[in-house]
Amino acid sequence: MEFRDLKKQYQILKQDIDAAMVGVASSGGYIGGKYVTELEGQLADYVGVKHCISCANGTDALSLALMAWDIKEGDAVFVPDFTFFASAEVVAFEGATPIFVDVENETFNISSTDLERKIQSVIAEGKLTPKVIITVDLFGLPASYSEIRLIADRYNLLILEDGAQGFGGAINGRRACSFGDISTTSFFPAKPLGCYGDGGAIFTDNDNWAELIESLKVHGKGSFKYDNVRIGVNSRLDAVQAAILKVKFKAFREYELEDINKVAAKYTTLLQEVVDTPIIPENYYSSWAQYTIKLGSKEQRDNLQMKLKEAGIPSMVYYPTPMHKQSAFSADKFTADFCPNSTSLCQRVLALPLHPYMNDEDVNKICDLIKVINL
């Protein structure tokens, strides 16, 4: 059994994907070109924003947004404590200071209550200037943007939506990657929409930011390739990945997103009386990057993971360590009760196999095993 069965997906899409890759090879154009331009247009239309700028990966997408906003030393950027390292890494890389914010126990996403508390604390201390809130649409579920936007406006902060796991999710029909002043996503293979390597994209309605990011991602270019007007980076999505993404995006829109929601719903039906299953708030729609259950303790989680492994069923812990306990962020400076929800979740979460091509037999096998294990 595969955790996310990309091999099965390829077999189903093989004819179109192979043709797309051959088409790029035959064209002789491997960087930029029509495949990239067409993909960017399709993604922008789907999300509902004016601009989509593709780049080399999701981490670069975040970095390019912060570069466009001139985030630097002395700035404070608020980041969920329960997320992948890159969401805070990019802040530190620009010389700014990540301020870790606890998450909601139910949704895994940033807590608006703790967010405002941390903003007020930074202002009161007076050493850093609050600039940006990085929200993360964790495991496919968009963050609570109605509350977060009110807070951002109250303190004159920008919102950078990290939609690496959230692409395809929605709130009241409005799609993820449209809620930030700038939003980003990742096309890492295991993401809801993934390519066959690394890739990423940036979304915004702001013409000036879009133009600046287009420059920054290609060595700070000006009017042409060898006119460099600023210091930039080399972060481009290649044509082969764009061609593959066009094929996979069609399947994603037509049936994959719907099918993965059906698999997740079956999990919830079978497990909701057994373990703590994911909660999708009313009017929210998840793209289900992960199906993450919560156990009562680390011992229960580890025991379940071991029993699943013995039965040939893969599972993953996303994430075993909260951001504030990462060595790179001087973990020893935080108190034991810092971000308690994040710390607790790291001890109790377990992600089960999930993908659009998963059959009922596999879901039933997993759920039947969980039911008989002494949790």
The predicted pLDDT at position 40 comes to: 98
Looking at the fold, whether 159 and 271 belong to one and the same domain comes out as: no
Q: Output the CA–CA distances (angstroms, integers) from residue 186 to 50, 104, 162, 163, 192, in the order listed.
A: 19, 23, 9, 7, 9
285 and 339 part of one domain: yes
Mark whether 261 and 308 lie in a shared domain: yes
Whole-number pLDDT of residue 356: 98
> Both 278 and 330 in a single domain?
yes
What is the CB-side half-sphere exposure of residue 276 using CA atoms within 13 A?
Answer: 14
Is position 326 within any domain? yes
CATH number of residue 82's parent domain: 3.40.640.10
Region 147-152 average pLDDT: 98
Distances (CA, A) of 174 to 107, 150, 164, 202, 284: 18, 17, 17, 17, 9
Q: Do 293 and 224 belong to one domain?
A: no
Its domain, for residue 279, covers: 254-372
Domain boundary among 225, 247, 269: 247
Average pLDDT, the chain: 97
Q: Does residue 374 carry a pLDDT above 80?
A: no
What's the pLDDT at 38? 98
pLDDT at position 333 over 90: no
Same domain, 299 and 339: yes
d(CA 303, CA 56): 38
Domain boundary among 228, 247, 266: 247
If you average pLDDT over residues 155-176, what whole number do you get?
Answer: 98
Per-residue model confidence (pLDDT) at position 224: 86
**What integer is the mean pLDDT of 101-128?**
98
In angstroms, the CA 325 to CA 103 distance is 15
In a domain, 224, yes or no: yes
Nearest to 58 by CA among 97, 89, 18, 35: 89
Residue 285's CATH number: 3.90.1150.10
The reported pLDDT for the residue numbered 51 is 98
pLDDT band, residue 89 (cuts 50/70/90):
very high
Q: 267 and 176 in one domain?
A: no
Residue 1 lies in a domain: no
Average pLDDT of span 231-254: 98
In a domain, 283, yes or no: yes
Residues 6+ apart with CB under 8 A from 245: 39, 187, 193, 195, 199
- 364 has pLDDT over 90: yes
| 351 membership: H or E segment, kind and range | strand 349-352
Query: Mean of the pLDDT values across residues 41-66?
Result: 98
For residues 106 and 166, state if they share a domain: yes
Same structural domain, 133 and 33: yes
**Averaged pLDDT for residues 34-52:** 98
The per-residue pLDDT for 78 is 98
**Residue 333, in any domain of the structure:** yes
**Distance (Å, whole) CA 69 – CA 20:** 36
Residues 298 and 366 occupy one common structural domain: yes
- pLDDT score of 375: 63
Is the residue at 89 inside a domain?
yes
| Domain end call among 231, 247, 263 | 247
- Closest by alpha carbon to 83, among 329, 375, 268, 364? 329
Per-residue pLDDT band for 225 (boundaries 50, 70, 90) equals: confident
Looking at the structure, tell me whether residues 116 and 169 fall in a common domain.
yes
pLDDT surpassing 90 at residue 223: no
Domain count of the chain?
2
- Domain annotation covers residue 308: yes
| pLDDT at site 174 | 98
- If asked whether residues 264 and 291 sit together in one domain, one would say yes
